Structure 1
Amino acid sequence: MAVINHEACDCPGRRKADCAHLTYRVVFREAGVVREVPFKRLEDAESFALGVERRKDLGARLDPAAGRRAFADVWVEWVEAGVLEESTRRNYQSVYDNHFGQTFGSIEMARIAPADIERWEAGQRRRGYAENGVNGRRNVLSSVFNYAVAAEIIGRNPCRKVNPHRHTGKPLTPITDADIPAIEEVMGIIAEAPKLIRAVFWAMAGCGMRPGEALAVSDASMNWDRGIIAVDHQVSAYGCQEISGSRRGVKRGTKSRTSGEVRRAPVPHSIRQVFDDHVDAYGVWGDRGWFFESPRLNDRHPSYDWFLAQFKEAATNAGTPQYTPKSFRHFFVSEAIHSGIPLFEIAAWVGHRTTRTTELIYGHLVRRSMHQGALVMHNRLGLDFASPRASIPLLMPKSPVDGDTAELWGDAV
Structure 2
Amino acid sequence: MAAIKHEDCDCPGRRKPDCAHLTYRVAYRQAGELREVPFKRLEDAESFAIGVERRKDLGARLDPEAGRRVFADVWREWVEAGALEESTKRNYQSVYGNHFGRTFGSMEMADIAPADIERWEAYQRGRGYAENGVNGRKNVLSSVFNYAVTAEIIGRNPCRKVNPHRRAGRPLTPIGDDDIPAMEEVMGIIAEAPKLIRAGFWAMAGCGLRPGEALAISSASMNWDRGILAVDHQVSAYGCQKISGSRRGVKRGTKSRGSGEARRTPVPHSIRQVFNDHVDAFGMWGDRGWFFESPRQNDRHPSYDWFLAQFKVATTAAGTPRYTPKSFRHFFVSEAIHSGIPLFEIAAWVGHRTTRTTELIYGHLVRRSMHQGALVMHNRLGLDLAPLQGSIPLPSLHPSGEAADDQDDAA
Shift of residue 263 of structure 1?
0.8
Structure 1 gap ranges (5+): 1-76, 111-148, 402-413
Aligned to 1:82, the other structure's residue is in SS state: helix
Distance in 1, Cα, partners of 2:80 & 2:369: 42
Q: Which residue of 1 aligns with 2:316?
A: 316
Distance in 2, Cα, partners of 1:277 & 1:395: 62
Q: Match for 1:279: what amino acid?
A: V
Aligned to 1:292, the other structure's residue is in SS state: coil
1:89 to 85, 90, 101: 85
- Aligned pairs for 1:360-399 (under 5 A) are 360-383=360-383, 390-391=389-390, 393=392
Distance in 1, Cα, partners of 2:205 & 2:234: 17
- Closer, same or farther in 2 for the Cα pair 1:267/1:187, shift >3 Å? same
Deviations 1:185-220 (A, max 9, x none): 000000000000000000000000111111110000
- Closer, same or farther in 2 for the Cα pair 1:380/1:237, shift >3 Å? farther
- Closer, same or farther in 2 for the Cα pair 1:183/1:256, shift >3 Å? same
User: Does 1:279 find its partner at 2:279?
Assistant: yes
Distance in 2, Cα, partners of 1:321 & 1:293: 26
Q: Which residue of 1 aligns with 2:253?
A: 253
Native 8 Å contact 1:248 1:302 kept in 2 = no
Native 8 Å contact 1:236 1:247 kept in 2 = no
Q: Which residue of 2 aligns with 1:52?
A: none
Distance in 2, Cα, partners of 1:207 & 1:234: 15
Aligned to 1:321, the other structure's residue is in SS state: coil
Q: Given the two structures, how large is their TM-score scaled by the length of structure 1?
A: 0.57
Native 8 Å contact 2:240 2:251 kept in 1 = no
Shift of residue 251 of structure 1?
1.0
Q: Given the two structures, how large is their TM-score scaled by the length of structure 2?
A: 0.58
Native 8 Å contact 2:239 2:250 kept in 1 = no
Shift of residue 89 of structure 1?
1.3
Q: Which residue of 2 aligns with 1:209?
A: 209
- Aligned pairs for 1:115-130 (under 5 A) are none
Native 8 Å contact 1:91 1:249 kept in 2 = no
User: Does 1:229 find its partner at 2:229?
Assistant: yes
Larger radius of gyration: 1
Distance in 1, Cα, partners of 2:250 & 2:315: 26
Distance in 1, Cα, partners of 2:183 & 2:234: 26
Q: Match for 1:269: what amino acid?
A: H
How many residues are matched? 269
Native 8 Å contact 1:247 1:303 kept in 2 = no
Distance in 2, Cα, partners of 1:204 & 1:314: 14
Distance in 2, Cα, partners of 1:249 & 1:78: 28
Q: Percent identity?
A: 75
- Closer, same or farther in 2 for the Cα pair 1:395/1:354, shift >3 Å? farther
- Aligned pairs for 1:5-404 (under 5 A) are 82-83=79-80, 85-86=82-83, 88-89=84-85, 92=88, 155-157=127-129, 160=132, 168-238=168-238, 241=241, 248-383=248-383, 390-391=389-390, 393=392
Q: Match for 2:85: what amino acid?
A: R
- Closer, same or farther in 2 for the Cα pair 1:153/1:360, shift >3 Å? closer
Q: Match for 1:175: what amino acid?
A: I
Deviations 1:282-339 (A, max 9, x none): 1111111110111111111111011010101111111011000000000000000000
- Closer, same or farther in 2 for the Cα pair 1:183/1:85, shift >3 Å? same
Native 8 Å contact 2:244 2:300 kept in 1 = no
- Closer, same or farther in 2 for the Cα pair 1:239/1:222, shift >3 Å? closer
Distance in 2, Cα, partners of 1:82 & 1:396: 65
